[in-house]
Structure 1
Amino acid sequence: MQIDWDVEIPMDDGLVVRADIFRPQAEGRYPVLMSYGPYAKGLPFQVGFPAQWQTLTAKHPEILHGSSGKYANWETADPERWVPLGYICIRVDSRGAGRSPGVIDPFSAREAQDFHDCIEWAARQPWSNGKIGLAGVSYYAASQWIVAGKRPPHLAAICPFEGFTDFYRDACRHGGMLCTFLTEWYPRQVTSVQHGLGSRGHVNPNNDVPVSGPDELSDEALMANRVDIDAMQVGAELITAEYFDGRRANLPAIEVPVLSCGNWGGQGLHLRGNIEGYLRAGSKQKWLEMHGLEHWTAFYTDYGVALQRRFFDHFLKGEDNGWDREPPIRLQVRHVDGFVERAEYEWPLARTAWTRMYLDADSLALQVEPLPTASLHAFDGLKGKVSFSTLPFAHDTEVTGPLAATLYLSTTARDADLFVTVRAFAPDGKEHLVLGAVEPNAPIAQGWLRASHRQLDPQASKPYQPVHTHDALQLLEPGQVYEVQVEIWPTCFVFPQGYRLVLTVGGSDFQHDLPGPYPQLYGKNVRGSSVLLHDHPVDRSESRFGGVTSLHCGGKFASHILVPVIPAD
């Protein structure tokens, strides 16, 4: 293949961003697969993320069939696999990152405009057929949703692979609570490859140039060239904050064909966005695929590549390969011992048996009928929890779809954070944990709500998916009972006969009970919620949340969870 390093693409404000272009050596016009993001286009996967690369290639050696792997980068298409298929792969370093100068401002309106201009630039090149597709994982997926809403004229199709759509609800503030993932991620994965590190950064072994550019900027200059997202996010509790302007995808404005690929294990980062993107995109042609395994795996496997190839071949090359006749939804249904693929035609599934399970604070059970008498259970508002269990299931029971909890609570404090977790327990009493996207031992499903954010959007909300406005604080009066609706992110799991569903409601992030030592990520123990934690001392202060939370059940306080049970065929 022909490799063009550091091709300059002019932006509308006079700055240039730089791209590496991998294209067939044969003359001709080819469709383009583009990615745009801050992880440094010249940083090979095995150099930047060696542990993940080793795991990926050991578990799935197929990804190196026909590829040396040396041009494979974190969460972007491997050109050695795609260029022989008749595609051009373009990787663009976003403004301020890698080889592109400027100020880093992740997911901003400025980035979206840059991405738009890169798409249009690529369409005008002599080697391009004018059809641009977008491919990539995580950042390289979330940015697709945003730029597609700007409708670049030559954007022909997008395949966002595990990427959020609502920066506020999906990534930054779950139920109004600040998730500290992004503030931990920023220095480790973005500013660590910031433009201007020069010789202090990595070197691209494929062309021996510094991945963060030749410039040697001072620490002060580097700091001036990046947004302080910790300060911005801590100070932006409501969705109306200026910080969120332009960072949330305008899904109804999207017109191009969409293949949205999500991960059941993406609780707290990408799962919700892939489903919402599929549902709300204005595109007439759109598909949803849901899989499991690690966050970065399926994109590179033969399964993932073949899926993307059929989609892009149809819309970027015009091939009549039957893709337009594919069922709109493809689910990898999770069982305790693996996944079984199944086609579906709507979401939520039309045959769902919506099942209410009522919380009993006296017996700590989930009951099938409302309770006539009232009961309550109190726990520490910052670190306590209480769990409620069903009886063992009499037969295999599939739970697939969104969940919701209606809870009645009071507190001695002025506010309360609620962490709601759906869990599976085997007949021997041991919890069945699943492999999540970035968590080796994850629960079945998770939801979050800050009680002062309980105001619902009545037009957007559904019985199975409450949507909160997050535009005003409604602090609590100590001792008064409030009804709150908690969105629990979608899930897919078949509970075997004899297993129990357990609902845990608490005041802090879920942690499993497995013995240590625990793996670490970003310097934190990974214990069930990975690093998708809500542990910022300013956002969760003792003065605001340090009280006793009481969960009220039974009688006029019919606390319950709504579960999407799928009837057996």
Structure 2
Amino acid sequence: MNQSVININETTNHFYGLIWKEVQIPMRDGSYLAANLYQPDFPGEFPVLITICPYGKDLHFSQFAPINPTIAKEYSQLQDKGPLLSWETPNPEFWVPQGYALLRIDERGIGNSPGKLDILSESLKRDYYDAIEWAGNQSWSIGKVGLIGISYLAMSQWAVASEQPPHLACIVPWEGTVDYYAEFCYPGGIQANGFLSFWWKNGILPRQYNPDKKFSEEQLIANRVEFPEMVKNTPLRDESWIKRSADLSKIKVPILSASNWFSAGMHTRGNFHAFQYAAAENKWLEVHIGSHVAGFYTEEGRALQKKFLDYWLKGIDTGLMREPKVKLAIPRGGKNYTWRYENEYPLKRTQWTRFYLDANSNRLTKEPLPRMTSQDYEGDRDQESASWLKPMRKVFTKAEDSSKRVLFETAPFEHETEILGPIKLRLWASSSTDDMDIFVSLRNIDPQGNEVVNSGALSEAFPISKGWLRASLRKTDEKRSTEYKPYYTFDESQKLTPHEVYPLDIEIWDSAIVFDKGHRLLLEIGSQSQCGCFMLETGDDRIWDADVTIYTGEKFESYLLLPIIP
């Protein structure tokens, strides 16, 4: 273990802290995890903030996956660009002066932590548990540990919190998936293999444990579980997926869950789902828009985190317990929004409103249709598997190829209209084959016919929301499903009879938007993954050949269920 004194604040030269390099945290199996410990340079005991991930504890934010063009863009947007900043982790240059110790840990098989690399695994839960308990028992620790971080660093928080380590006092998962199968690897039952392959090769493998670069490629392969292959070889949500993910019924520590309205297909769903169903008595929900990481490091974002952490880790009355539990950005398109506090989610005053699809007029109407109509679209036979780095379509236009999609629109809204919450599409449909992949987007269309896009986690041109479903995985758990949100079991493939009509409940991920007077809501259904979500823009795991017929009216009441807020 190496100690060095560093100038934490190079701008003011007012603060000095300590870095302890290559701290070896013992694991229950006799191995260890390598960590950097950042501490205030004054005597005392401190609450501890921990992160553990596969990105390398010593890698600077700007150097994470340089081939990814979004990293440089994200870094350019940050208010904080200090030398200790690492991708998606809390910055010690801010938190150490606040009286916190930070422990940044290399996951097993990463960086300087020996062992077999097996990301998002049961072994990660055990290792994280051991690290929390080690930190809680150190002489410089007050015995209270908090977890905080973005994306993978949030996903692992949910998982270890369900293991209930005694010294864990609270968690701050910022944009982090809970259900690894349904939210990260198989949204709607469709494998997100394009992004997963890129992320594995460029974000994970370069940091695999390889002291002095002495391991051969064969040794490295033997010393890891190939995550994309594991995903590909486990297409149904079996017990192995359940064991990897968090059990929300066992998460009882206080939670600050931060989501993003415009990140459908990545993290949005997990933060909402966990806020609703985690067993914790004390839990808060914050929902923002814009960058996946920038808001975490802003003065406003840190003030929220500090209010939560100071209360639960330091016992300071920050006013947290007197505030409403829900803080929501209310978007109006682009980067425009206002904040609003609520007492619950979904909102009790929600008016769940059905808009029925009319395949004859391509309208969405509040009145059920008296007669049956239908409309077809083609399978996506000519689409090539592509890198997710390929530029995504920026905005919607009706001039594009219409043979692979159908569109339904409301009449212009007569007054300003807000939707906020979970959304569902009940669709009656048939396929020309024994399966079909259905892709859904919701869009905000202005009086001139242009789409009003939104600033999202990974795109400045995100629609209102998106949904997906592989029809053979349509089976739902009736006890866990609600009128407004289906809960898929994903444990059984039920192939279709070609040309037979089936009712499909398609989950459209939670979102919010305020429509201006005269704007319309457009529902797009098709065989292609439309713009805005890189998780399903790519990859070759598709039902390519299915031509689809949508049925509306009479006994085929296809409808869009919207959460309208009066």
| TM-score normalized by the length of structure 2 | 0.90
1:54–1:541: structure 2 CA closer, same or farther, 3 Å change rule? closer
1:14 to 30, 54, 69: 30
CA distance, structure 1, for counterparts of residue 74 and residue 135 of structure 2: 31
* Deviation of the 1:308 alpha carbon: 0.4
Identify the residue that residue 542 of structure 2 maps to in structure 1: 540
Q: Secondary structure at the match of 2:560?
A: strand
Identify the residue that residue 460 of structure 1 maps to in structure 2: 480
* Deviation of the 1:237 alpha carbon: 1.5
* Deviation of the 1:230 alpha carbon: 2.1
Identify the residue that residue 393 of structure 2 maps to in structure 1: none
User: Is 1:249 the counterpart of 2:252 in the alignment?
Assistant: no
2:198 to 177, 181, 184: 184
2:371 to 364, 370, 373: 373
* Deviation of the 1:60 alpha carbon: 4.6
Identify the residue that residue 224 of structure 2 maps to in structure 1: 226
Q: Note the alpha carbon deviations across 1:488-533, whole angstroms, 9 max, x for none.
A: 100011111111100011112013xxxxxxxxxxxxxxxx22x211
Q: Secondary structure at the match of 1:485?
A: strand
Q: Note the alpha carbon deviations across 1:28-76, whole angstroms, 9 max, x for none.
A: 1000010011000000112326665654464453x35xxxx00000000
1:301 to 293, 298, 301: 298
Q: Secondary structure at the match of 2:297?
A: coil
Which ranges in structure 1 are unaligned for 5 or more consecutive residues?
Answer: 197-212, 512-527
Q: Secondary structure at the match of 2:243?
A: coil
User: Is 1:558 the counterpart of 2:557 in the alignment?
Assistant: yes
User: Is 1:439 the counterpart of 2:459 in the alignment?
Assistant: yes
Q: Secondary structure at the match of 1:168?
A: helix
Identify the residue that residue 401 of structure 2 maps to in structure 1: none
User: Is 1:105 the counterpart of 2:118 in the alignment?
Assistant: yes
Identify the residue that residue 12 of structure 2 maps to in structure 1: none
Fraction of identical pairs, as percent: 41
Task: Answer yes or no: is the 8 Å Cα contact 2:62–2:75 preserved in 1.
Answer: no
Identify the residue that residue 205 of structure 1 maps to in structure 2: none
Task: Answer yes or no: is the 8 Å Cα contact 1:389–1:501 preserved in 2.
Answer: yes
What does 1:322-361 align with in structure 2 at a 5 Å threshold? 322-336=319-333, 338-361=336-359
Task: Answer yes or no: is the 8 Å Cα contact 1:178–1:534 preserved in 2.
Answer: no
CA distance, structure 2, for counterparts of residue 470 and residue 37 of structure 1: 28
Q: Note the alpha carbon deviations across 1:183-210, whole angstroms, 9 max, x for none.
A: 22111101121111xxxxxxxxxxxxxx
Identify the residue that residue 178 of structure 2 maps to in structure 1: 165
1:38 to 54, 69, 73: 54
Q: Secondary structure at the match of 2:294?
A: coil
Task: Answer yes or no: is the 8 Å Cα contact 1:155–1:256 preserved in 2.
Answer: yes
CA distance, structure 2, for counterparts of residue 423 and residue 506 of structure 1: 14
Task: Answer yes or no: is the 8 Å Cα contact 2:65–2:202 preserved in 1.
Answer: no
**Counterpart of 2:23 in structure 1: which amino acid?**
V
CA distance, structure 2, for counterparts of residue 547 and residue 453 of structure 1: 15
Q: Secondary structure at the match of 1:119?
A: helix
Q: Secondary structure at the match of 1:409?
A: strand
Identify the residue that residue 525 of structure 1 maps to in structure 2: none
User: Is 1:402 the counterpart of 2:422 in the alignment?
Assistant: yes
1:378–1:37: structure 2 CA closer, same or farther, 3 Å change rule? same
Identify the residue that residue 516 of structure 1 maps to in structure 2: none
CA distance, structure 1, for counterparts of residue 338 and residue 564 of structure 2: 17
Q: Secondary structure at the match of 1:175?
A: helix
**Counterpart of 2:243 in structure 1: which amino acid?**
G
1:238 to 224, 236, 239: 236
**Counterpart of 2:323 in structure 1: which amino acid?**
E
**Counterpart of 2:535 in structure 1: which amino acid?**
L
Q: Note the alpha carbon deviations across 1:260-280, whole angstroms, 9 max, x for none.
A: 011111211110000111111
| TM-score normalized by the length of structure 1 | 0.90
**Counterpart of 1:120 in structure 2: which amino acid?**
E
* Deviation of the 1:291 alpha carbon: 0.5
**Counterpart of 1:405 in structure 2: which amino acid?**
L
Which ranges in structure 2 are unaligned for 5 or more consecutive residues?
Answer: 1-16, 382-403
Task: Answer yes or no: is the 8 Å Cα contact 1:44–1:72 preserved in 2.
Answer: yes
Identify the residue that residue 509 of structure 2 maps to in structure 1: 489
Task: Answer yes or no: is the 8 Å Cα contact 2:324–2:343 preserved in 1.
Answer: yes
**Counterpart of 2:28 in structure 1: which amino acid?**
D
Task: Answer yes or no: is the 8 Å Cα contact 1:166–1:248 preserved in 2.
Answer: yes
User: Is 1:119 the counterpart of 2:104 in the alignment?
Assistant: no
What does 1:7-156 align with in structure 2 at a 5 Å threshold? 7-48=23-64, 55-56=73-74, 58-61=76-79, 63=80, 69-156=82-169
CA distance, structure 1, for counterparts of residue 298 and residue 205 of structure 2: 29
* Deviation of the 1:393 alpha carbon: 1.0
* Deviation of the 1:142 alpha carbon: 0.4
Task: Answer yes or no: is the 8 Å Cα contact 2:435–2:543 preserved in 1.
Answer: no
Q: How many residue pairs end up in the alignment? A: 524
1:99–1:486: structure 2 CA closer, same or farther, 3 Å change rule? same
CA distance, structure 1, for counterparts of residue 118 and residue 442 of structure 2: 35
**Counterpart of 1:301 in structure 2: which amino acid?**
T
* Deviation of the 1:396 alpha carbon: 1.1
2:312 to 312, 315, 318: 315
**Counterpart of 2:148 in structure 1: which amino acid?**
A
* Deviation of the 1:381 alpha carbon: 2.9
* Deviation of the 1:225 alpha carbon: 1.8
CA distance, structure 2, for counterparts of residue 476 and residue 534 of structure 1: 25
RMSD after superposition? 1.5
**Counterpart of 1:412 in structure 2: which amino acid?**
S
CA distance, structure 2, for counterparts of residue 52 and residue 8 of structure 1: 33
User: Is 1:291 the counterpart of 2:288 in the alignment?
Assistant: yes
